[in-house]
Structure 1
Amino acid sequence: MLNLVLFGPPGAGKGTQSEKIIAKYNLIHLSTGDLLRSEIQAGSELGLRAKTLMDQGILVPDEVVIGMIENKLKDHHDAAGFIFDGFPRTVKQSEALDELLARYDESITVMIALVVDDQELSARLLNRGKTSGRPDDQNEELINKRIQEYNNKTRPVADYYQQQGKFVAIDGIGEIDFIFEEITKTIARVSQA
C-alpha cells in the first residue's frame, strides 16, 4: 500500500498535484481541508466549530481531524493507498497518524514536500481567491497569518519524517507536469526500496 503525505504551505500546489497523483496511483484522497469544508457546508456542529477557528487562521484540534481520518481509513480499508493532503500539520499529529496507521498494519511510505517561497505563495493564494470564492484566499493579512502558522508549527513535521528517512523535497515552482514528473520519480524510487 502506498501511503503518501503531500506536504507544503498553503498555495504550494498540493491540490493540483494531488489530483494527478490520485489519478495515476488510484489513491484515496484525504484532504483535511476538504473534509472540514464539507462539514462546514453541511452546517454540522463540527463544521461550525471548525469554521470559527479557520476564519481566525487557527488550526482545528487534532482529535477532530484524526477522528475524520480514521473514519475514512475504515471506509476504504481495501484501497491501493492514501494521499494525505494538508495533514499532518504538527509533530503531535504525525505521531498520532503513525499510531493510527500502525493499528491497521500500515505506515507512511513517503512525505513529498512542495517547496515554494512565501512571496510566491501569497501571490498564488490571492490569485486563487479571485476565482475560488474562499474568503481565506482573499485577505492578504489572513494569508500571511496562514503562511506564518505553517512556518512556525508545520515545518517541524518535515524533520519528523526526515528522521525516519521518509522525507523528499521537490521544487514547487515551475510547470505542473514537470513537478508531477519529479513526484512520480520519487514514488518509483521509494516503492522499490
Structure 2
Amino acid sequence: MSRKTERYQVKSANSLWHIYKTVPFWKVVKNFIVIQISRYTPLISVKNWLYRTFLGMKVGEETAVALMVMMDIMFPERISIGRNSIIGYNTTILAHEYLIKEYRLGDVVIGDEVMIGANTTILPGVTIGDGAIVSAGTLVHRDVPAGAFVGGNPMQVIREKEDNNKTKGDSKEPDLD
C-alpha cells in the first residue's frame, strides 16, 4: 500500500531549491522557533499547547510528546495525534518530502493510545491506527493497522492485533475483574 501524498512536479532545480515558493519564509521561521522551544520543554501540557496554538496541530488530551521530538517544520498543521498516545524521544514526524524532480505533501494521522518508540521516523501520508505500537528506531513508511506491533527498517508487522473476544477462562492469565 502506498502512502497518501500529493505530488508536485518541479521543472528546473531540485524541489528544495524552490522551498519558499511552496511555503512562506516567515512561517518556517516561526515554526522552527516553536518546534525548538517544544523540543526542550519538559512540561508536556505546555508543549501540547504550543503545538496546538502556534503550529495548528491536532494533539489529543493526555498525549505525551517526549523531549527532542522533531515535528515537520514546513507543514506541522498536517500532523494529527490522538488522545493518550506517547511519541518517544528523538522521533521525527514528516509531512513533506522534497525530492529532485518533485515534492510531496501528506497528512500524518496517529490514532488514540498509540506508542511510538524512540528514534522513530514517520514519513508523510502515513496513518497509524488506534492502539498500535511502533518499536524504537522504526522507519514508518506505510500505514500501521490498529492494534498492530511493528518495527524495523524497513518496517514490518511483527504482530497483528490480538483477538480480545476470548471467553473468560481461555487465558492462563489471572482474571483481575
TM-score clears 0.5: no
Bin for the TM-score computed over the shorter chain: under 0.3
Question: Using CA pairs below 8 Å that are at least 6 residues apart, which structure has the higher relative contact order?
Answer: 1
When normalised by structure 1's length, the TM-score is 0.24
Structure ranking higher in strand proportion: 2
**Larger Rg computed on CA atoms:** 2
- TM-score normalised by the chain length of structure 2: 0.25
